[in-house]
Amino acid sequence: MIEMSEVYKTYPNGVLAINGIDIVIHPGEFVYVVGPSGAGKSTFIKMMYREEKPSSGKIVINGIDLSTLKESKVPMLRRSIGVVFQDFKLLPKLTVFENVAFALEVIGESPRNIRKRVLDVLDLVQLKHKARFFPDELSGGEQQRVSIARSIVNNPAVMIADEPTGNLDPDTSWEIMHLFEEINNRGTTVVMATHNKEIVNTLKKRVIAVEDGKIVRDEARGEYGLYD
């Protein structure tokens, strides 16, 4: 579960990015976060995995109260949340296998368990046959599938994605969306900031619209709205 109460965020330069947000997202939900550029969508989701801290208010993720979370416990929080970015953020000098294995190595899993788990998630994203490839040998869609595999390898309860289809062509974007749907169908909560109007209006989910740092709309099977 994701819960925010009276959350505000002012950046050090004085920009008020989040201006009072209250929200509850239940386990297993699939939520789109929409709104114009600069509305605060990225800031909203970055606060969920502690990439940014709120200036005030309360955030609870998977039962962890972020306001009292010690820095030393942030890695533990991050392991319960998978994050996917627009620009993939794969490590260029590591193979596909190693990029996905990395998160398991840092928690000291045995090589045997790592191998099994990594090949399982690569199979899910249909890239097992490219396990030995490097990121620059893959198409954009394939790189995003690797980053999705990496984000779910720890079995996170929550998956957060910031414009995951922003760099992909329409067909590839749909493939990636079907993967997110499949992961969501297996019980993982998905929160996705997106500008993809066609996807939001076709693959209907809960829509949270953010404008000027506030939630201006929250609908169960919502529409994208009038944003570019």
User: b/e for 55-79, b at 16 or more Cβ within 10 A?
Assistant: eebebbbeebebeebeeeeeeebbb
Which residue's CB is nearer to ligand ADP, number 67 or number 139?
139
In whole angstroms, give the CA distance from residue 136 to residue 184: 28
Report yes or no: 164 and 194 within 8 Å, Cβ to Cβ: yes
Q: How far is the CB of 170 from ligand ADP (least distance, A)?
A: 12
Q: How far is the CB of 123 from ligand ADP (least distance, A)?
A: 16
Alpha carbon distances (Å) from 120 to 81, 95, 128, 203: 19, 16, 8, 26
Q: How far is the CB of 16 from ligand ADP (least distance, A)?
A: 8
Beta bridge partners of 21: 7
Q: How far is the CB of 91 from ligand ADP (least distance, A)?
A: 17
Which residue's CB is nearer to ligand ADP, number 114 or number 179?
179
Nearest partner of 218 among 68, 84, 24, judged by Cα: 24
Contacting residues toward ligand ADP, per CB under 6 A: 11, 13, 15, 17, 35, 37-43, 137-142
Which residue's CB is nearer to ligand ADP, number 29 or number 142?
142
Which residue's CB is nearer to ligand ADP, number 109 or number 211?
211
